[in-house]
């Protein structure tokens, strides 16, 4: 539970929980994983956390959102998160957006948009597709610069390492 002012606005609450998701992303980065983090919140308490673990688990589905949703469902012993909010540092991909719909998460808050694979408004909008049995309220752009910087710096670092390696081989 956060120690927030009882009069905190929803925007202040979202900022505080996004900071927790960013900490999860930093854990992923420390493991040389793509730095994306997520937390699931129910009644002001974090009930699930996750960060990307694709390399660690040798699993292409080990995205932060998937891990956080699974942890939250296990914590409350229900397969639906009907009163929860999912905070994630980057706009979810189509796989994660599908999981969000299937878990019946009513509210999604994300940091930076993903112009290549975002499925919550950028490239696709699976979570608000009226053909599905559940639609999600989406709030994007919370701490967007900080979230985007994590990803940008991570990939710049990888490119720099490759350049140095290529230079040393020549």
Total residues found in the chain within this entry: 170
- Work out whether strand 85-90 and strand 37-42 pair parallel, antiparallel, or are unpaired: antiparallel
Q: What is the C-alpha radius of gyration for the chain, rounded to an integer number of angstroms?
A: 16
Determine the 3-state secondary structure of 88 from DSSP: strand
**Among candidate residues 98, 89, 94, 44, the one with its CA nearest the CA of residue 64:** 89
Beta bridge partners of 109: 87, 139
Separation CA 50–CA 47 (nearest Å): 11
- Non-local (6+) Cβ contacts of 94 within 8 A are 117, 119, 124, 126
- Give me the active site residues, please: 65
Phi, then psi, of 51 in degrees rounded to 5: -145, 160
**Among candidate residues 71, 62, 67, 129, the one with its CA nearest the CA of residue 101:** 129
């Amino acid at each position: 539970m956060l120690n927030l002012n009882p009069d905190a606005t929803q925007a202040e609450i979202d900022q505080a929980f996004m900071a927790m998701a960013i900490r999860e992303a930093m854990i992923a980065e420390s493991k040389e994983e793509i730095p994306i983090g997520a937390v699931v919140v129910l009644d002001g308490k974090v009930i699930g956390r996750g960060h990307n673990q694709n390399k660690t688990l040798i699993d292409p589905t080990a995205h932060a959102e998937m891990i956080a949703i699974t942890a939250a469902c296990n914590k409350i012993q229900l397969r639906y998160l009907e009163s929860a909010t999912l905070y994630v540092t980057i706009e979810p991909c189509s796989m994660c957006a599908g999981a969000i719909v299937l878990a019946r998460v009513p509210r999604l808050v994300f940091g930076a948009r993903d112009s290549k694979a975002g499925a919550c408004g950028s490239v696709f909008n699976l979570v608000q597709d009226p053909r599905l049995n559940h639609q999600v309220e989406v709030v994007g752009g919370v701490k967007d610069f900080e979230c985007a910087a994590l990803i940008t710096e991570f990939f710049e670092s990888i490119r720099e390492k490759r350049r140095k390696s290529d230079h040393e081989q020549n």
